[in-house]
Amino acid sequence: MNGGKVAVLMGGSSAEREISLLSGNGVLQALRSKGVNALAFDPTERDLFDLKREGYARCFIALHGRGGEDGTVQGALEVLGIPYTGSGVLGSAIAMDKWRTKMIWLANGLPTPRYRILSANDDWNAVARELGLPLIVKPANEGSTLGLTKVSSVAQLPAAYELAAKKFHDLALAEQFIDGPEYTASIVGDEALPLIRIEAPQGNYDYENKYFTDATKYICPCGLPAAKEEALKALALRAFRLAGCTGWGRVDLMLDVKGDPWLLEVNTSPGMTGHSLVPMAAKAVGISYEDLCVKILEGSHVE
């Protein structure tokens, strides 16, 4: 394909910079292999206005986390009038905020684990009584399971809060623990791709197991009955749209012991590394990594 010069935005200044560079370089090589005039562009090293000055026609956003996935870069590209991949300003901002995403889902009757916002002077015993143990503590505005702790006793709560709220300068969220398998629904355009079941060592799908080990198993086809999988894909697509998301992304969910679904979060600029899930789901329906990158780029827009 052609269509002018394309900037692959990668790196950035978030806690997920390392993964963004892996994603961005993968996308860069894939687009080049398809004849796209793609060049790397790191917003921490370049002025975004260079995109306009240097005549870029489109941007493939391979940034992860704050500053790249939260609506800020999207807003800048809107001002510059340069089409970009993925969700717009509103969808990006909402999905990055797990708290407000949950409020939208709950207001529309979608299932998501019970939660509460934490503060330093909370009664930790009361938090444990309200949500039960074990529970999950995580930042409200970080991805890649950064700052997430599975808490098994009240004594662990202060340190978990400290990690989530202080290290990542953010609101911390305590969430009901769902005991069951985790699934992810990759969304490209208006379609949810086959679900992937995630099996991490000791159920610990943390940053290390997500990106840097081969111990985590990804099962696709996911093993669910066809009707159940289709229902979950439809739920994920609805959750994605209600959060204002468009273009492409990923919705993570779990099933409890009764087989009922619980929505966890939306990712609007998912990983595109060798361990990443959207390329894996695309491959299951015969879409190569290279073709997936082109397909995502073709959906670039300004709102």
The Cα 160–Cα 156 span in angstroms is: 6
Report DSSP state, residue 153: S
Asked if omega into 221 is within 30° of 0 (cis), the reply is: yes
Tokens of 277: 């899930």
Provide the total of helices (H) and of strands (E) in the chain, helices listed first. Answer: 11, 13
- Give the residue numbers annotated as catalytic, written as ranges: 16, 144, 211, 250, 252, 265, 267, 271
Alpha helices (runs of H) in 46-205, residue ranges in sequence order: 49-53, 72-80, 89-96, 98-107, 124-131, 157-161
Residue reference for tokens 């905020």: 97
Tokens of 242: 């209600």
Q: Name the CA dihedral angle for 297, 56, 83, 193, rounded to a multiple of 10 degrees.
A: 10
Q: What is the CA radius of gyration of the chain?
A: 19
